[in-house]
Amino acid sequence: MATANTIAALASGADAASVTVNGLGERAGNASLEEVVMAARLTLKQDCGVDTRQLGGLSELVARASGRPLDPDKPVVGESVFRHESGIHCSGLLADHETYEPFAAGEVGHIPTAMQLGRHSGGGLLRHKLQKLNLDLSAELQVELLEEIRLIAISRKVPVTDDELKTLVANLKKTMAFLIYKKIADGKTVRYEKIKPLKLSGATALLRGTFRR
């Protein structure tokens, strides 16, 4: 509300705004410097004369000095602001980063956008990750891998890293190599695609055990 009121005042002709870093002060309701600066730039097309690339570092410095840690979800400077996991969010970002990010992470001193594989991730992000890491996996095995990634993320409560993804794919390929063909009683050969994949036993259980923490 403090940020909204300040932007409304600037839009109505105010010459100056009272702000504090991270919204800290002797009372509640202080407008955050970082929020007002970026909101003025985006909504009012006003440049406040602030080097926005220093905002992240400034907020962290004030947080440490004041003993008031930043909330990970704090607008503009929170560490989770440029992290994405949801399937729909990541798909939108891959098409156009402005879908969910009105400004780039570097503009406010953040590390680049991070799209992470977790319980809410979708097939689009998994395909993007596999392509980026030069990992080849069939569409059907990608479905199984995504299910396993979600289960791992739920059990550990943290996302799956790129290095872990590489290991998951390697282990999955090794295990599934023995199931490409399966002899059945009448002597016919059935391709793996027609066989129900192993769920929580065998291959995927082995994978989950690899990353249990």
- Assess if residue 45 is contained within a domain: yes
- Kindly tell me the number of DSSP H helices and DSSP E strands found in the chain: 8, 6
For the chain, the domain total comes to 2
Is residue 180 in some structural domain?
yes
Answer yes or no: pTM beyond 0.85. Answer: no
105 domain residue, yes or no? no
Q: Domain residues for 184?
A: 123-210
C-alpha distances (whole Å) from 94 to each of 51, 70, 199 are: 28, 28, 30
Does 91 reside within a domain? Answer: no
Tell whether 131 and 205 lie within a shared domain: yes
Q: Are the beta carbons of 118 and 160 closer than 8 angstroms?
A: yes
Instruction: Calculate the alpha carbon distances from 70 to 11, 25, 27, 37, 73 in Å.
Output: 28, 14, 17, 18, 8
**What is the per-residue pLDDT for 42?**
92
Tens of pLDDT, residues 89-124: 777 777 777 777 788 888 998 877 777 888 888 888
- Give per-residue pLDDT as tens, 34-92: 999 999 999 999 999 999 999 999 999 999 999 999 998 899 998 888 877 777 777 77
Judge whether 104 lies within some domain.
no
- Report if residue 158 sits inside a domain: yes
Number of other CB atoms surrounding residue 126 within 10 Å: 22
Residue 176 confidence (pLDDT): 65
Sign of CA dihedral 65, 69, 75, 77: positive
C-beta separation of 20 from 58 below 8 A: no
Average pLDDT, the chain: 79
